Chain A
């Protein structure tokens, strides 16, 4: 399975690099309209054709992928930090704080978070700027996605606080920030990394869901969600199968993230 992981990682690197270099790779700016060429078929000038407003689909795909691939990890990082702060402090302090935090995570986990996300996102101002909408969407994902990770980290922190090496560190005079920075944080790293990487594909899919429902990134800025929204107008009569390319790329990227993270699974 090692070669599958290598191929997956290589694919992710290629996609990420092409998106980061979208300014140089893309044949046109994402909002530029070729007004004489709406709904054009793929050609040498427009590799994936143009949309109904005459915008180059390939360029929009590159820029849209960049938005999703840059901001989903940022939101995942924010959620992981939030989970580490809340879950970590609850696990270490214990007592009433731990009970309160656990009750809060129970509450967050019992509400389907897509429901919560749609509710909050729909309540934002109507005339929101595209750049603000990107930040708000991913900030919301980050701030609502901490609960599951906080539970895991809280359990870990609880077992750390009772472990021998922490006891020894306390006995030898370590306390407060030093104890946290030198002994606790390094042991949290693997759990935090795992939670971070679990959250990235979840947030990419959540943004895509919001985008398809019209609550994601505002036009004209593209994202995977807004690109997939075009499928709503797809009909087999119009015969534009290249409209499915963003979906294929999304499936490929998420699959590669899963493959890159996959451990050896149990088998008989």
Chain B
């Protein structure tokens, strides 16, 4: 219980710091305060001046963040400057879309990655290992954005691109981990005693590898969220990845701070959950 409370406290502290860091980075960036409207010849100098004045309200980052936290307590996430909608509404509309994409992508990545790694370790067939390593190796060398474009060109379901982006990391790590565990003395003894492959896997390999696999699960959530930005932006999926992309291009401080905090919260929650699960599984094993 104490461990859980510590995790939650750490999560909240890092989340708040993450929001502050995001806001600070946006504020100190050289392009802050300028946008496309500065170059719009149709706007009069008075209009441009008025737009600049509205941006100047965010000049002091400490004051901005203090006001932001005050509003956050009351559930008000502010207004998106570029999209002209409440941030809360935008997030409510788009978060389910991203969660669906990330969930599908992670399911594909884990099913493919873990089953190939397990097949390579259990069957000891070199061609399975070679196939998995080759596929993972190629996918690891393709930038996420290019993979998204390839999915657009081939008209394949864009959500699956997320799975192929995360798959090589899962396969590579799981394969190495399982191979290493399978060569531990207690596994060799079990095999020497004639215990079957399935039992060796379920009783002697997976329980030992479980804490690291849980940690990998936490990291894979972070990877999937990062990959969601280029995939959603290029495949026109209306999720928070695309929203982050639009917010970044529109220099939308309000939206960026909220998105930074949400992405940090999701990542940290996934890592903390995997950490706790790993701890529980390790304690059970001992």
- CB within 8 Å of A: which B105-150 residues: 121, 124, 129, 137-138, 140-146, 149-150
Asked whether A265 is an interface residue with its Cβ less than 8 Å from the other chain, the reply is yes
Q: Nearest-CB distance from A220 to chain B (Å)?
A: 20
For B30, what are the chain A residues with a Cβ–Cβ distance below 8 Å?
A: 123-125
Say whether B222 contacts A251, CB under 8 Å.
Answer: no
Query: 1/0 per position for A102-127, CB-CB distance to B under 8 A?
Result: 01001100111111101111111110
Say whether A266 contacts B176, CB under 8 Å.
Answer: yes
Q: How many chain B residues touch A (Cβ–Cβ < 8 Å)?
A: 57
Asked whether B249 is an interface residue with its Cβ less than 8 Å from the other chain, the reply is yes
Asked whether A205 is an interface residue with its Cβ less than 8 Å from the other chain, the reply is yes
Which single member of B137, B141, B233 contacts A250 (CB below 8 Å)?
A: B141
Q: Nearest-CB distance from A56 to chain B (Å)?
A: 22
Given contacts A231-B146, A255-B137, A258-B140, are A265 and B176 in contact (CB under 8 A)? yes
Which single member of B14, B153, B251 contacts A231 (CB below 8 Å)?
A: B153
Asked whether B100 is an interface residue with its Cβ less than 8 Å from the other chain, the reply is no
- CB within 8 Å of B: which A190-245 residues: 201, 205, 208-209, 212-213, 225, 228, 231-232, 234-236
Q: Please, could you name 23 A-B residue pairs with CB atoms under 8 Å apart, sorted by A?
A: A110-B267, A110-B268, A111-B21, A111-B260, A111-B264, A112-B267, A114-B229, A119-B248, A122-B248, A126-B36, A126-B39, A205-B143, A209-B145, A212-B234, A213-B233, A228-B149, A231-B146, A234-B153, A251-B138, A254-B140, A255-B137, A265-B176, A268-B121
Which single member of B26, B144, B145, B176 contacts A119 (CB below 8 Å)?
A: B26
Asked whether A139 is an interface residue with its Cβ less than 8 Å from the other chain, the reply is no
Given contacts A126-B39, A212-B230, are A254 and B145 in contact (CB under 8 A)? no
Say whether B31 contacts A123, CB under 8 Å.
Answer: yes
For B179, what are the chain A residues with a Cβ–Cβ distance below 8 Å?
A: 265-268
Query: 1/0 per position for B216-237, CB-CB distance to A under 8 A?
Result: 0000001101110110011000
Given contacts A112-B222, A112-B263, are A267 and B146 in contact (CB under 8 A)? no
Q: At the interface, is chain B mostly helix, strand, loop or mixed? A: helix
Say whether B271 contacts A110, CB under 8 Å.
Answer: yes
For A231, what are the chain B residues with a Cβ–Cβ distance below 8 Å?
A: 146, 149-150, 153
Interface residues of A (CB under 8 A from B): 103, 106-107, 110-116, 118-126, 201, 205, 208-209, 212-213, 225, 228, 231-232, 234-236, 247, 250-251, 254-255, 258, 265-268
| Assembled-state Cα–Cα distance A6/B168 (Å) | 24
Ordered nearest first, which 9 A-B pairs have the shortest CB separation? A112-B226, A123-B29, A212-B145, A122-B248, A254-B141, A208-B143, A251-B141, A266-B179, A114-B226
| Assembled-state Cα–Cα distance A265/B173 (Å) | 12
Say whether B142 contacts A119, CB under 8 Å.
Answer: no
| Assembled-state Cα–Cα distance A20/B196 (Å) | 57
Asked whether B278 is an interface residue with its Cβ less than 8 Å from the other chain, the reply is no
| Assembled-state Cα–Cα distance A43/B18 (Å) | 53
Say whether B129 contacts A267, CB under 8 Å.
Answer: yes
Known: A110-B264, A205-B143, A265-B176. 17 other contacts (CB 8 A): A111-B22, A111-B260, A111-B263, A112-B263, A115-B229, A116-B25, A119-B256, A126-B34, A126-B39, A225-B143, A228-B146, A231-B149, A231-B153, A235-B153, A251-B138, A258-B140, A268-B121
| Assembled-state Cα–Cα distance A87/B14 (Å) | 19
Say whether A124 contacts B226, CB under 8 Å.
Answer: no
Given contacts A110-B14, A255-B141, are A119 and B22 in contact (CB under 8 A)? yes
Asked whether B17 is an interface residue with its Cβ less than 8 Å from the other chain, the reply is yes
Say whether A212 contacts B29, CB under 8 Å.
Answer: no
Say whether B248 contacts A268, CB under 8 Å.
Answer: no
Say whether B248 contacts A123, CB under 8 Å.
Answer: yes
Asked whether B245 is an interface residue with its Cβ less than 8 Å from the other chain, the reply is yes
